[in-house]
Amino acid sequence: MSSPIKINLGGAAAFAPAMRLVNSLEGLLSSVNSRWKLRYDLPDTARKAPKTLKPRKGPAPAQPTVADVIAHFARKRDMFEMTDPMLTAIGQGVFNRVITNVLAGGPVPNAGALMLSLAAEYKKAVIHRWETGGFDLHLAPLSPDYVRYKTRLGYPARLGTMTGQSLAAIKKARVTAVKV
């Protein structure tokens, strides 16, 4: 008969910093949208006019800003929505990035540093949603007529992407964590 596997994890003191990190992250995640807000700083430049099926006579009409286009889209299909699975995913992303340093004896980052890391993970998650047409969100599909219109113009048929200007702006935008 073989002997049981023995594991020495170094005792509770070795994991105390990791537990402080977990507790700090859980507290911060539960305070997103109540004590902390993650904010996108989107450009206020006018977007380029999209293609048309019929040639324009004269210059394109004045265009809204990229931020206005994103806000209009988000009223119906909010790619920025902070769902529980998203909170869990961004918390896990920050934990994975920081835990190695903490277990090696490094300090547990303060709330401000953790919120900046959460903001960076949130940005990654939002970009992933835009690139995949919603990913974890249950969004209403585009109408068949609108899909046909987009494809005739040579644009992708997925949600959230027409010219690609919104996604490009989101990728370049700075995301900050601010206390409410």
Please tell me what DSSP assigns to residue 11.
-
Q: What is the pLDDT of residue 140?
A: 86
Domain span including residue 175: 13-45+64-179
Number of domains in the chain: 1
Q: What is the pLDDT of residue 109?
A: 94
CA 23, CA 17: separation in Å to the nearest integer?
10
Q: What is the pLDDT of residue 76?
A: 87
On whether residue 54 sits in a domain, the answer given is no
On whether residue 163 sits in a domain, the answer given is yes
On whether residue 134 sits in a domain, the answer given is yes
Backbone angles phi, psi at 60, to 5 degrees: -65, 150
Mean pLDDT, rounded, of the chain: 88
Which tokens in the block code for residue 171? 């990728």
On whether residue 24 sits in a domain, the answer given is yes
Banded pLDDT at 133 (limits 50, 70, 90): confident
Of all residues in the chain, the percent with pLDDT exceeding 70 is 92
Which tokens in the block code for residue 128? 């992933």
Crossing angle, helix 165-172 and helix 66-76, to 10 degrees?
Answer: 100
Q: Are 117 and 98 in contact (CB under 8 A)?
A: yes
On whether residue 168 sits in a domain, the answer given is yes
Q: What is the pLDDT of residue 108?
A: 92
Which pLDDT tens digit goes with each residue over 77-115?
899 999 988 999 999 999 998 988 888 888 999 999 999
pLDDT of residue 161 exceeding 70? yes
Banded pLDDT at 179 (limits 50, 70, 90): confident
Using DSSP's 3-state secondary structure scheme, residue 33 falls into coil
Q: What is the pLDDT of residue 42?
A: 92
Which pLDDT tens digit goes with each residue over 2-56?
556 555 556 667 678 888 888 999 999 999 888 988 999 998 999 999 888 888 8
On whether residue 87 sits in a domain, the answer given is yes
Q: What is the pLDDT of residue 123?
A: 96
pLDDT of residue 127 exceeding 90? yes
Q: What is the pLDDT of residue 81?
A: 92
On whether residue 7 sits in a domain, the answer given is no
On whether residue 20 sits in a domain, the answer given is yes
Q: What is the pLDDT of residue 11?
A: 65
What pTM was computed for the model? 0.83
CA 168-164-118 angle, to 5 degrees, is 40
CA 81, CA 139: separation in Å to the nearest integer?
11
